[in-house]
Structure 1
Amino acid sequence: MSLRSILGGSSRVRKPSNKSGAKHPSSSSSSPSSPWPASLPRRKPGIQRNKPSKGDEDDDLFDDKLDDYGLVRALATDMNLRDTSQALLYVCSHMFSPIPERAAGMNSTRIAEVLNYRKNLPPIVTISHIQTLLSSPSAVEREIAELARAGFIRKVVVPRRGDIGETMILASDFEKLLEDSTGVSKEAKDSLATFLKENPGVQAIEPNSLRASEIDQLIRVGFLTAHRNGEIHYGTTSNTTNLHSRPEDKLTLTSLENVSRQPTGTLGAVGGEGVIHELGGSRSLLSASRFDTNSTELKLAVPGNGPFLKLLSSALEHLVSLLGKSRYREAPEAVLRDWWDGGIAKEEARYAAKRSRGEFAGILPGQTKKWRQFYGLSFDWALQEAVGSGLVEVFETRSVGRGIRAL
């Protein structure tokens, strides 16, 4: 028997014929004149259609304005806060976020710098911050006045700084700062402490209340500021010049307004006698022999208030700039919190498996602006300061939690 008879006919494999006469889809690609890459869809490399890019994911959330169902009057989440003293302690203890135990992105030297910076900041709180935590700002104002008259707190006002310049500190903390200061003699410390106990609610001190040498020491260290003829002179550790003020508003010995009024060739035309101190030198601006009791007014100050106000100002500017990413300058609180933290939450969720194995993945906290510039400043703390300063407002959306809008 032949092989052809066994297979039932021809042993050749034949393709099925197309009776309708239509071309097979692969016929054009199999022809020598049309290579197979020509049949593939042509698309530019790196472009994915109908798929938003990573940078546009957040922008798609803000095509429309958020629903506004009323402003949030009090931002406190701790229901135990009932008075000003409790709120003051709460604000001081929740100013910074704890340093991450693992994968902080900072070496031991940087961690020591962060801890020392936090330690050197004075325990002061802005009055507007306290008002955002409690439901009645007017009641807070009355309670602060009562606590100041009773000598429980010290109210310190820095001129030309707006709401963030009105601060207060516990009297016990102020006395501890005075006791621990190294540039003041024991006699000067005792004189100032005695005067404050006898006059608990005062913010201004007459020059004849203390000796001239004691006043000079207290100004250089930063416990007093001298106001003379409309000019404000700070000590070496509490210079709080507003970086955003105009040159004519900076009324110091080296300001353009004062220098321009001085005759050519005089000492005042080059900044005055205290120009070295004004530019950061170590020489005392006011000596004991230069006090004029008729034109000089002394006001209470806190050493380290300058770095505190500098940190606060830059943090508020950064928070408002983050809201500028959206079209209507508003964002849900959860989204704004993630922006403030540098997108760490998304990175941790994306690389959770690698992080559990101790592998490097994503953005570390020490690489974000929150830790590089703000030393781990808490988002809730910065938000409360922004609301108290009138820069933003918080409202209910009933869909995505609370919303935050720049004013």
Structure 2
Amino acid sequence: MSLHATPAYSSRITRPRRRSGLAALGLKRKTPSPSNPTPKQLSLSSEPSAYNDDQPPSLLTDLKLCDIPQTITSIHTHTFSPLPTSPSLSSTLTSRILNHRLRLPPFISLAHLHAISASATSVDREISLLVSTGVLRRVVIPHRAASGIGEGVVCVREWQRLIQENSEVPAELKEKYTTSLASPRSALDFAPKEREILLSTGFLTCDATAPNATYTLSLPNMGLYVKLVSDARSHLVKLVKQNAHGTMPLCDVAERWNGGVIEEGDVQAEGKKVRGEFQGVLPGRTKRWKRFYGMRVEWVVEECVGAGLVEVFETGSVGRGVRVV
């Protein structure tokens, strides 16, 4: 019986190892070490989508965020879309949208923070630390705990900016109010006339149902925020429920939220415009702009996930989907 020597079985015949591209360039391969773990990728928007309205990258994929104040600032940045560049909104609607956005308080619900964080426990722990040091301030809205909007946080510096920009509050009262904001455990010591000014401007509230009148620091226009977010969440859940199974791809949810508006720069829309054909619905005629002032669908989905109204899942075929809980 003859034996055949092949390179695979002979110890004297060796094949040189193939050098990698990094080795050919004289570079070392980087491997993650246990002391420097890679940041956890969050769930909602890990790939670019077609419905982001040319916004900055999604908050859920911005791995540079390392603390709660940065996260709160980014949530505010991603709340609304910029106004359309084309003359599709009337001057009256444009003015109403801008004024309503300016009047909204810098309040972020805890449900929203929990939805975009990797660990709700670590978020609560960091919030408690920042509240004790005077960086953040907790805000509780009575009778709204079940809806997920009843408790949230505000950056103290934003709160101080609001009181400083208000022209109806005297300068001495502004300093006194700012001092009370910086020390959360200090008792409120306002004169009756000062309380009257703060109550009229919305910076102070009173629980009239309590046996003894209890005064609490508050933010102006909190009712506008609660109504806007509640209506937006209800509308999104209604859109998802239009499907027979209460499930819909995220791209379809975004399309319905936008009202079927054709994006600016679309080639087909430009061709229809030249031919004088119907180009689609104008943004000024949709609920997104008339009722929700240009609120982004991604922000509403995050709010609904935090409130436990919907959940986001991987479909395996058409990207991410939204399901009513």
Does the residue aligned with 2:61 lie in a helix, a strand or coil? coil
Q: Is the 8 A contact 2:262 2:279 kept in 1?
A: no
Does residue 108 of the first structure (1) align with residue 91 of the second (2)?
yes
Gaps of 5+ in 1: 1-71, 231-293
Matches of 1:187 and 1:378, distance apart in 2? 40
Does residue 77 of the first structure (1) align with residue 61 of the second (2)?
yes
The two structures have a TM-score, normalised by structure 1, of: 0.61
CA drift of 1:183 comes to 2.5
Matches of 2:153 and 2:273, distance apart in 1? 43
CA drift of 1:356 comes to 6.4
Q: Is the 8 A contact 1:121 1:304 kept in 2?
A: yes
Q: Please report the RMSD computed on the Cα atoms of aligned residues, expressed in angstroms.
A: 2.3
Matches of 1:193 and 1:142, distance apart in 2? 25
Which residue number in structure 2 is paired with residue 182 of structure 1? 167
Does residue 385 of the first structure (1) align with residue 278 of the second (2)?
no
Trace 1:156-305 onto structure 2 (pairs within 5 A). Answer: 156-162=139-145, 163-197=148-182, 199-200=183-184, 202=185, 206=187, 209-230=189-210, 295-305=212-222
Identity %: 36
Q: Is the 8 A contact 1:74 1:134 kept in 2?
A: no
Report the residue type matching 1:386 in the other structure. C
Gaps of 5+ in 2: 1-40, 45-59
Q: Which of the residues 327, 330, 337 maps onto 2:247? A: 330
Report the residue type matching 2:170 in the other structure. S
Which residue number in structure 1 is paired with residue 74 of structure 2? 90
Report the residue type matching 2:119 in the other structure. S
Distance change >3 Å, CA 357–CA 154, structure 1 → 2:
farther
Which residue number in structure 2 is paired with residue 129 of structure 1? 112
Trace 1:8-27 onto structure 2 (pairs within 5 A). Answer: none
Q: Is the 8 A contact 2:262 2:269 kept in 1?
A: no
Distance change >3 Å, CA 112–CA 228, structure 1 → 2:
closer
CA drift of 1:186 comes to 2.4
CA drift of 1:173 comes to 0.9
Q: Which of the residues 118, 131, 134 maps onto 1:151? A: 134
Report the residue type matching 1:78 in the other structure. D
Moved over 3 A (4+): 72-75, 345-352, 355-360
CA drift of 1:73 comes to 6.0
CA drift of 1:108 comes to 2.1
- The structure with the largest alpha-carbon Rg is 1
Q: Is the 8 A contact 2:260 2:280 kept in 1?
A: no
Which residue number in structure 1 is paired with residue 228 of structure 2? 311
Larger mean Cα displacement after TM superposition, 373-382 or 159-168: 159-168
Which residue number in structure 2 is paired with residue 49 of structure 1? none
Distance change >3 Å, CA 82–CA 354, structure 1 → 2:
same
CA drift of 1:360 comes to 6.0
Q: Which of the residues 364, 369, 377 maps onto 2:282? A: 364
Which residue number in structure 2 is paired with residue 139 of structure 1? 122
